[in-house]
């Protein structure tokens, strides 16, 4: 089964570059998620792979075929659109078989494929209905069914869950993951929802400002973000950032001095850091534990408390005026305006240089 290869792909609309020299390789049967904020170019990249947008420079390969000059119908890809894009005047069965009829597949084969896909998606009872007569979730299933029957080499999903309500979104997400187990094809899934990306992807492509920021597994993206953007975009609550001054700590690791004077010993090797005018410290809430005043590296006043049940998020104002989000137990008794201490886990500290590149704690004896 083929993989997908994007080589130096560029797209411009007039004077504006919307995809800037992107290269990317997707393995056969891989579930790849394009993640990024609105306008970062992720949908455009997907549409270029589908053939719905032209490629101004670069090449797109699916398996051993170069496809960037082929019309969409000849690329052996199937796409599921955000707004379903079903044909409203056709029944569900006609919607699913339309593409197969166009390539003149024998009727018996069309019937087999439609029946099998409908069974897989549990929409057999809807086959003779029209899209207007079924619910939003069912329409999305039909759209997925229309993609499945084509038996494509590559599935493309353009924010397919964003029109569904929260409960249905979770269910459909699971079903798409299950679908991927059953079909022999790669999938590219575009979303701005990091939970979708983290739960579905083998690898995530984080995009920002027309370029790829990082490609990695969900845990790589989460725990070793390549840039400050990735660190800030992935994870809820967002990573805390604060400017720091670095000094040499024990065992070749660096120590970071926070603006309020607190010193944190990191697990980042001093030798791994580049020369940089300044460094920014990044740390997630889960590496900041609330403790009694005096027992942590720093302390402050609780400004706001978010109780999430299994844990509690405490927004702490430090003495220098900055605010960080720290974590406490689910049954935390911290109240607004309480003075609290904050224990900082040096292993959870990330440093970002003046180019916004991330540097992380040593892993199995090697530093990045």
Chosen residue from 8, 37, 66, 72 binding another protein by CB under 8 A: 72
Please select the residue that binds another protein; options are 27, 29, 83, 311, rule is CB under 8 A: 83
DSSP for 245-298, please give it.
EEEE-GGGEEEEE-TTS-EEEEEEEGGGPPP-S-EEEEE-GGGEEEE-TTSSSE
Residue 40 DSSP symbol: S
Rule CB under 8 A: choose which of 4, 86, 246, 361 binds another protein.
86
Q: Among 9-17, 83-91, 192-200, 300-308, which window interacts with another protein (CB under 8 A)?
A: 83-91
Identify the residue among 26, 45, 79, 121 touching another protein (CB under 8 A).
79
Whichever of 94 and 338 has its CB closer to another protein, that residue is 94
- Would you say 95 or 242 has its CB closer to another protein? 95
Question: Smallest distance from the beta carbon of 72 to another protein, in angstroms?
Answer: 5
Strand partners for 17: 12
CA–CA dist 170, 64 (Å, integer): 36
Question: For another protein, which stretch binds (CB under 8 A), given 11-19, 76-84, 191-199, 230-238?
Answer: 76-84
CB of residue 182 to another protein, shortest distance in Å: 21
Distance, CA of 197 to CA of 32 (rounded, Å)? 9
- Which one among 21, 29, 59, 82 touches another protein, defined by CB under 8 A? 82
C-alpha span between 76 and 115 (Å, rounded): 21
Q: Which is nearer to another protein, 176 or 340 (CB)?
A: 176
Q: Which is nearer to another protein, 87 or 304 (CB)?
A: 87
Nearest-approach distance from CB 68 to another protein, in angstroms: 15
84 and 140 Cβ atoms separated by less than 8 Å: yes
H/E stretch holding 156: strand 154-158
Q: Shortest distance, CB of residue 19 to another protein, whole angstroms?
A: 18
What span, in angstroms and rounded, lies between the C-alpha atoms of 335 and 146?
53
Question: How many chain residues interact with another protein (CB under 8 A)?
Answer: 24
Quote the least distance from Cβ 127 to another protein, whole Å. 17
Q: Does residue 131 contact residue 95 with C-beta atoms inside 8 Å?
A: yes
From 23, 39, 65, 87, residue interacting with another protein (rule: CB under 8 A): 87
Q: Which of 16, 38, 64, 71 binds another protein (CB under 8 A)?
A: 71
The token pair at 103 is 């390539």
118 backbone dihedrals φ, ψ, rounded to 5°: -65, -40
Interacting positions 88-147 with another protein (CB under 8 A): 88-89, 98-99, 102-103, 146
> How far apart are CB 92 and another protein at their closest, in Å?
14
Element (H, E) at 215: strand 211-216
Measured distance between the N- and C-terminal CA atoms of the chain, rounded to whole angstroms: 34
Which residues from 226-285 bind another protein, rule CB under 8 A? none
Instruction: Using CB under 8 A, pick the residue from 37, 39, 73, 261 that binds another protein.
Output: 73
Q: How far apart are CA 95 and CA 262, in angstroms?
A: 63
**Long-range contact set of residues 237-240: C-beta below 8 Å, sequence gap at least 24:** 237/285, 237/313, 237/325, 238/325, 239/282, 239/283, 239/284, 239/350, 240/282, 240/283, 240/284, 240/285, 240/288, 240/324, 240/325
Site for another protein in 23-62 (CB under 8 A): 50-52
Q: Does 77 bind another protein (CB under 8 A)?
A: yes
Q: Which stretch binds another protein (CB under 8 A): 75-83, 256-264, 299-307, 342-350?
A: 75-83
Measured from the CB atom, the residue of 37 and 88 that comes closer to another protein is 88
| Closer residue to another protein (CB): 52 or 177 | 52
> In a 3-state reduction of DSSP, which class is residue 325?
strand
Out of 74, 122, 128, 354, point to the residue binding another protein (CB under 8 A).
74
Tracing tokens 């069914």 back to the chain, one arrives at 145
Q: Would you tell me which residues interact with another protein (CB under 8 A)? A: 50-52, 71-74, 77-79, 81-83, 85-89, 98-99, 102-103, 146, 150
């Amino acid at each position: 089964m083929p993989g997908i290869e994007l080589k130096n792909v560029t797209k411009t609309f007039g004077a504006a570059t919307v995809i800037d020299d992107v290269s990317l390789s997707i393995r056969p049967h891989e579930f790849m998620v394009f993640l990024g904020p609105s306008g970062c170019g992720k949908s455009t990249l997907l549409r270029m792979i589908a053939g719905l947008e032209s490629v101004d420079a670069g090449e797109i390969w699916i398996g051993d075929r170069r496809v960037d000059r082929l019309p969409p119908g000849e690329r052996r890809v199937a796409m599921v659109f955000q707004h379903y894009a079903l044909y409203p005047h056709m029944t569900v069965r006609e919607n699913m078989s339309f593409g197969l009829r166009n390539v003149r597949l024998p009727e018996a084969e069309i019937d087999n494929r439609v029946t099998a896909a409908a069974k897989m998606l549990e929409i057999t009872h809807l086959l003779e209905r029209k899209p207007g007569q079924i619910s939003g979730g069912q329409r999305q299933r039909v759209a997925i069914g229309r993609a499945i029957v084509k038996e494509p080499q590559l599935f493309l999903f353009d924010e397919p869950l964003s029109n569904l309500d929260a409960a249905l979104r979770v269910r459909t997400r699971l079903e798409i993951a299950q679908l991927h187990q059953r079909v022999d094809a790669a999938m590219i899934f575009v979303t701005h929802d990091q939970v979708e990306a983290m739960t579905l992807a083998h690898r995530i492509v984080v995009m920002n400002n027309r370029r790829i920021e990082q490609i990695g597994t969900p845990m790589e993206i989460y725990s070793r973000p390549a840039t400050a953007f990735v660190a800030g975009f992935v994870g809820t609550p967002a990573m805390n950032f604060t400017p720091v001054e670095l000094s040499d700590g024990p065992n070749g690791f660096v120590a970071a001095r926070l603006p309020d004077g607190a010193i944190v010993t990191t697990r980042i090797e001093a030798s791994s850091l580049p020369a940089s005018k300044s460094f920014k410290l990044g740390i997630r809430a889960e590496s900041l534990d609330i403790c009694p005043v005096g027992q942590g590296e720093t302390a402050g006043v609780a400004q706001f408390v978010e109780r999430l049940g299994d844990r509690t998020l405490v927004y702490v104002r430090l003495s220098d005026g900055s605010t960080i989000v720290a974590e406490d137990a689910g049954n935390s008794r911290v109240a607004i305006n309480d003075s609290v201490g904050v224990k900082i886990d040096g292993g959870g500290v990330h440093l970002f240089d003046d180019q916004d590149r991330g540097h992380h704690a040593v892993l199995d004896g090697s530093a990045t």
